[in-house]
Structure 1
Amino acid sequence: MFKQIQPVEFVVMPVASTGGASEFRQSMTPHPLVYQELPHEPHFGIYNGRLRSLFYAKADMETLYWQLRRQVMMSHTGELPTEIRGPDAERMLNRVFTRDVSKVRVGRCSYQIACYPDGGTVMDGVLMRLDEDRFWYVQSDGEFYGWLRAQAEGYNVEVFQPGIWVSQVQGPRSLDVLNAVADDGLPERFRYFDIAHIHIDGQPVVITRTGFTNELGWEFYLEPGADVFAIGERIMEAGNVYNMLTTPAEVTNARRIEGGLLFAGTDFDDTVTPFEAGFGAMVDLNKGDFVGREALLKADPRQRTWGLTCATGTPRHGDGLAQNAQAAGRVTSAAWSPTLECGIGIIRLNNPELSPGAELEVLCTDGAMHPAAVCELPFYDKAGDIPRGRATLETPAVVA
C-alpha cells in the first residue's frame, strides 16, 4: 500500500474541480495547463507563489508512482524561472553562485546554489545558458528573486521574471513521447542537462534534459505568447500511447527523496551551510570570490544531511530522531518507498560524526518509535544511470 506523505512542503488548499476552477483563477496563480489535472480532483498548495497540486482525491498514488517508474508521467510544476541577461551576466552570476559559471557552455544547464555572506544556503536551482549573455535560473521554492536583483547592482545586467511556466515529462518512455511531439523528432544532440530548441505543433518550445524525479526525462518551458493549449494537448495526446497522466507532488516527492534530491526550505535553509547539506561538491572555493566564500573557508566541512531507512514504518517529519534515548536530529522529508518497500527520509543529524551505517530510532506516522538506519543519498542508482538513460527500473544492478 502506498503511504501518503505528510504535506509539510506546501500549505494545503483544497480546490473543487468544478465551480472552484474559475474562483481560484481569479485569486491565485495556477499553471496554464492545470485543466489537465482537474478531473482527478487535485488538492493544491503554494509553491513560489504559484499553485501546485499536492495530491489527487480521485487517483491511486501507488499506481501513479509505478506509472512514473515504468512508463511516463507529466507533472505541472511551480518552478520559477528568472532571466539574467546583459554583458555582465556571467560575471554577476559568478559572484552569486558557488560554482564557476564560466564553465557552463551555451546550450547547457548547471546545478547551482547560492549562499548568504554568513555561508547559509539561500537557494538551489538549475542555471540554463541560452546565449553568451543570456541565462535562465529555474529556482525551487523560496524567496530569491529580490536577493538576485540586489546582487545585480553595479553590473551591466537585467534581472527580471519572464513569466515562464515549467512542466516535466518523466519516466523511461519520456524520450519516446518527445520523439512523437517534436515536429522534427528528437534533437540530434540531447544529453543529460542539455538545452534544446524544438517546435511542437508549430510552436517554438525550449526543453531541457532535467527533472525532479531522478528518472529519465525532460522539461518544457511555456513562454508568454505561446499557444499553451496546442503544446499541452499535443504532449498529452502522444503520451496516451503509454497511458500517461498528470501526477501531483505526492508522487514526485517520493521519487525525488529516493533520488536524494533536496527540497529548499525543508531539507536545507539559510541556517545550513552547503557542506552540512551535502552540497560540498557544488562549492568551488578556488574559482574566485563569491558571496559566502569567506565564511565557507572557515566553516566545518562535515556533512550532516543523509538518508534514513525504516523497515517497519514511515518516518514523521520533525525532531523525531534518537540514539540511545538522546535527541539525534531531524527528519526533513519522508515518504513510503514502493521500490524499496520501506519508509525513507532525508535527515539532518545533530552530531556530524554520525555517518551512514549508524543505527537510530525514528518517530513514525503511527506515533511510535521504530528502528532505522542512516544511509547515503541517493538510496539507489548512485551513479545516476537512470536519468542519464543508461539504466531502467528493470536493470538488476540498479537497486541496491
Structure 2
Amino acid sequence: MLQDSMMASSDGRSRDLVSTIPGAGWDFGLDRHPYHEIERPFGPRYTVYNRRLMACEFDKIDTEEGYWLLRQKAAVLNTGEYPLQFEGPDAERLLDLLFTKDFTKLKPGRCGYGIPCYEDGGMITDGVVLRLANDLFWYAQADGDFYSWARSHARGMNVTISDPDIYVSQVQGPLSMKVLEAASDDGMPKPFGYFGIARVSLGGQEVVISRTGYTNELGWEFYTEPHHDAQALWHHLQIKGAPYGIGLHGLDSMHIRRIEAGILNAGSDFDRFTTPFDVGLGRFVDLEKADFIGKEALVNASRETRLFGIICPSAEPHIGAEVEVSDQPCGVVTAGAFSPFLKHGIGYALMDAPDSKEGTAVRVGCIDGEQHEGTLTSLPFYDPDAEIPRGKRVDIPERT
C-alpha cells in the first residue's frame, strides 16, 4: 500500500518520462543540456529536473551495464543540477545567511556542501557551493525552488544573483582520474584534492572542474559554460577517455550507487517537512555560527535521525510504500533499487518517529505490490569513511 505522500511516485510497474519526438511547441521552459545531441542516438528517456532534461535511461544502454561502467571504469552523466552565481562584496555574507554551514571558512578554490532551510528548519534543497574567488560563488543546486528564496533575502546587500547558463556533467568511476589526466592538456591539475576546484585546458578550452559527484565513486565534474564548444569538448573527452572505457550512463544506473552510498535526493528523501537532523545530515549544521535562516528552530529540534537504509533480500522496495514494524505502519520508503553488487534490494525508510534502531525487522512494500521482509540498517551500505571518492580505496569490484 502506498502512503498518501508527496514522495509517492508511480505504481512500480510503469512510469512517465520524457522523450524527443518530431515537432515543435509545448516544451516551453524545458532546457536541453549542451550534450543532448550526443545522447540522442542512444535513445534517452528524460526526467525533468530544475526544468532541465536529465536522462534516466537509454534504449541502447542497459541500466545494469551502466552501473558496472560506473563501478569499474568511467561513466558520464549529464546532470540537471542548476548552478546559480553569487557575485559581489556581500556574496559570502548572503550565503552564510542562507546555509546551515559556516561558509565564511570556505577558501577560494574549494567546494562545500550547502543546505538551505526555511525558518522552521525544513529543508529547501541541497547542493555544492563552489568558491571561485573571494567574491564569486556558484551554487550547483539539486532540484528545488531556491533562486527566488535567495533573491528575497538579498535585500540591502551588495550582491548579484544570476543564472550563468552553466551545465554540470559528472565523470565518475575508478578510472575517472586517468581520464582527466589524459584529457587535460597540461596533465593532472595540482592541487586537486577531494572537494577541490581547478581550471584545466581540455582540448584547448579552459574548463572549471571540481572533485565532486553524486556517486561516492572516485570522480570529478565539469562545468560547460555558454562560450564552450560542447561538441568539441565531448569529442576530446571521448577520444582521451576511450582507453579507460569512458561512456554514458543514465540516472537509473547512478541511482543504485547513490543509494548504496547513502546520498540523498532532494524532494524524495528529504523535503520541507524534514530537518537536516531528521535525515542524518546534522553534521552540516553549524549551530555555533552567529545566525542563519532556520537556526532558532534547529537549535530546538531533535538531533535523532529518522532515515535508515533498508536491506530487503527478496525484492526491490517501492518508493512511497509503507514500512511496517510489528504489523503497524511506521514509515515510508523514499528510495529503492536492486543492488547488483550487494545482490539484494536496498532502499531508504523515513520513519515517523526517531525510535527505530539499526537491525529492526520491518515489512516493506515492494515493486511487485507485495510486502516483503526487511531490516533497517545505518547508511551508507558500505565505505562509511568515504575512502573510495577520496582515492584511498582503489580496489575495483568484480562483477559476479
Q: Identify whether the pair has TM-score above 0.5, normalized to the shorter chain.
A: yes
**Structure 1 residues 30 and 154: alpha-carbon distance in aligned structure 2, compared to 1, 3 A threshold:** same
Whether the 8 Å CA contact 2:306–2:352 is kept in 1: the answer is yes
Letter of the structure 1 residue corresponding to residue 43 of structure 2: E
Following superposition, the deviation at residue 102 of structure 1 comes to 1.0
Q: How does 1:114-153 map to 2 (within 5 A)?
A: 114-153=116-155
Q: Could you tell me which amino acid in structure 1 is paired with residue 386 of structure 2?
A: G
Residues 12 and 44, structure 1, Cα contact 8 Å, conserved in 2: no
Deviations 1:66-95 (A, max 9, x none): 111011111100100000011111111111
Residue 3 (structure 1) aligns with:
none
Give, in angstroms, the shift of residue 377 of structure 1.
0.9
Instruction: State the partner residue of 1:55.
Output: 57
CA deviations over 1:127-154 (Å, ceiling 9, x no partner): 0000011100010011111101111111
What's the counterpart of residue 309 of structure 2?
307
SS in 2 for 1:318: coil
Task: Using the TM superposition, give the Cα deviation of residue 298 of structure 1 relative to its aligned residue in structure 2, in angstroms.
Answer: 1.3
After superposition, give the CA deviation of every residue in 1:186-219 in whole Å (9 maximum; x if it has no partner): 1021101000011111111000000111100000
In structure 1, list runs of 5 or more residues that go unmatched. Answer: 1-5
Check whether the contact 1:129–1:136 (CA below 8 A) recurs between aligned residues.
yes
**CA offset digits 1:266-309 (Å, max 9, x no partner):** 10001111110111101011111110001111112211011111
SS at match of 2:152: helix
Match of 2:5?
Answer: none
CA RMSD of superposed structures (Å)? 1.9
Amino acid in structure 2 at the alignment position of 1:123: T
CA spacing shift, 1:27–1:131, aligned 2, 3 Å:
closer
Q: 1:292 to 1:8 in 2, by over 3 A?
A: farther
- Which residue of the partner structure matches residue 264 of structure 1? 266
| Residue of 20, 27, 36 corresponding to 2:38 | 36
CA spacing shift, 1:27–1:98, aligned 2, 3 Å: closer
Residues 108 and 128 of structure 1 are in contact (CA less than 8 Å); yes or no, is this contact kept in structure 2? yes
Count residues in correspondence.
388
Residue 26 (structure 1) shift: 7.7
Counterparts of 2:343 and 2:84, CA distance in 1: 39
Q: Is the 8 A contact 1:12 1:46 kept in 2?
A: no
Asked if the contact 1:15/1:21 (under 8 Å) is kept, the reply is: no
1:163 offset after TM fit, Å?
Answer: 0.4
**Matched residue of 1:198: which SS?**
strand
* Cα displacement (A) at 1:395: 7.3
Cα distance change of structure 1 residues 230 and 14 upon mapping to structure 2, 3 Å threshold: same
1:226 aligns with 2:237: no
- After TM superposition, the score normalised by the length of structure 2 is 0.93
Q: Measure how far apart 1:394 and its partner are.
A: 3.7
Q: Secondary structure at the match of 2:263?
A: coil
User: How many Å apart are 1:23 and its aligned residue?
Assistant: 7.5
Answer yes or no: is 1:325 the counterpart of 2:342.
no
One-letter code aligned to 1:74: V
Number of the residue aligned with 2:19: 15
Q: Which letter maps to 1:65?
A: Y
* 1:174 alignment partner AA: S
Superposed, 1:1-400 pairs within 5 Å as 12-16=16-20, 20=22, 28-394=30-396
SS of the residue corresponding to residue 188 of structure 2 reads coil
Q: What SS does the corresponding residue of 1:68 show, helix, strand or coil?
A: helix
Contact 2:71 2:396 survives alignment (8 Å) = no
AA aligned opposite 1:111: Y
Shift of 1:21: 8.9
* Matched-pair contact (CA < 8 Å) for 2:66–2:250: no
Give the secondary-structure state (helix, strand or coil) at the position aligned to 1:106: coil
Percent identity over paired residues = 43
Q: CA deviation at 1:14?
A: 3.7
**Deviates most, 53-62 or 214-223:** 53-62
Q: Distance in 1 between matches of 2:24 and 2:70?
A: 30
Question: Partner letter of residue 220 of structure 1?
Answer: F
Secondary structure at the counterpart of residue 190 of structure 1: coil
SS in 2 for 1:345: strand
